Amino acid sequence: MFNCKICGSDRYDVKFSKVDKYSKESFDIVNCYACGFSLVYPEPLNQELINYYPSEYTPYNIKKNNIISWIKTVLIKREIKKIKKLFGGKKQISVLEVGCGNGEFLYHLKENTGWNVLGLEFNENAVNVARKNFGLDVRVSTLEESNISKESVDLVILRHVIEHIHDLKGFMDTLNSTLTKGGILYQLTPNQKSLDEKLFQKNWYSYDPPRHLSYFTEKSLIDLLNQYNHEIVDVGHSIDPTNWIYSLRDMTTNQKLKRLLNINPITLLIFTPINAVTRLFKSSGIIKVISRKR
């Protein structure tokens, strides 16, 4: 039976169906009738979900390009500076990144702060890269299976993770119990109330069922955090032209154009300023919410 992951309502409207580009299966994305939260329904079983992450899944296959890597590193370091400020010079900080991928963010965080960092990731290839390239302590595990001690983590990082979670309540319960009192949760997730979602609608790149199971807005993410008695520290919007570039790529049938519509210096030069403008109106493609456990 349908059960909204945010408000628990049992009533919904079907928004549309979308075919998964890898499995070619079709999934319904529905709106909760009571709170408007969007989610995949019905969902595949939790144990089946892993089959929908093929090795060619984009986040695991980051192509190397010097300029883009450089820009990315600059942006990561800028973000880390802001995170560091949240702890006001405190030295012994215990950090957990859930779904840390190849460990790039965690590596820079460790290098720039000296904090104790641990990563969890279920893709073994990504874990190998994190260990070999970055020398990080990364475990092949989900949060629920990780047995991390209660109230032992000062900072939990979820970068593009919450939208993938099957059992949102179970996940949040575990997450909250690992956080210390006053601990910080740092989250990034696609913004369903963004200009790019309005423009591309069903073709919006972040509509990616069944990998993306939940589609948050600022409001729904804050509603969820309120249920866990979190104080909202900061709500921000990140500049990320990915949704624009890949949504257009998925929509066009022109093969030449398809090849051009990739993350490259030209597309970044075109779409980053557009995204920067949408950010001013709080409607960029990514929301960032920082909260503190009371």
Q: Note the residues at the interface with Zn ion (CB under 5 A).
A: 4, 6-7, 9, 32, 34-35, 37
Backbone angles phi, psi at 10, to 5 degrees: -105, 10
Residue 223 Cβ vs Zn ion, minimum distance, rounded to whole Å: 9
Q: Which is nearer to Zn ion, 213 or 290 (CB)?
A: 213
Q: Which is nearer to Zn ion, 118 or 172 (CB)?
A: 172
Residue 5 Cβ vs Zn ion, minimum distance, rounded to whole Å: 8
Q: How far is CA 115 from CA 93, 104, 138, 154, in A?
A: 5, 15, 15, 10
Q: Which is nearer to Zn ion, 32 or 162 (CB)?
A: 32
How far apart CA 175 and CA 156 sit, in angstroms, is 8
Residue 290 Cβ vs Zn ion, minimum distance, rounded to whole Å: 24
How far apart CA 177 and CA 172 sit, in angstroms, is 8
Structure tokens at 216: 């948050």
User: Which residues, 6+ apart, have CB-to-CB distance to 250 below 8 Å?
Assistant: 21, 203, 205
Burial track 90-126 (b if 16+ CB lie within 10 A, e otherwise): eeebbbbbbbbbbbbbbbbbbeebebebbbbbebeeb
How far apart CA 53 and CA 61 sit, in angstroms, is 12
Residue 177 Cβ vs Zn ion, minimum distance, rounded to whole Å: 24
Residue 136 Cβ vs Zn ion, minimum distance, rounded to whole Å: 37
In the DSSP assignment, the letter for residue 65 is -
Residue 43 Cβ vs Zn ion, minimum distance, rounded to whole Å: 15
Nearest to 171 by CA among 229, 98, 94, 93: 98
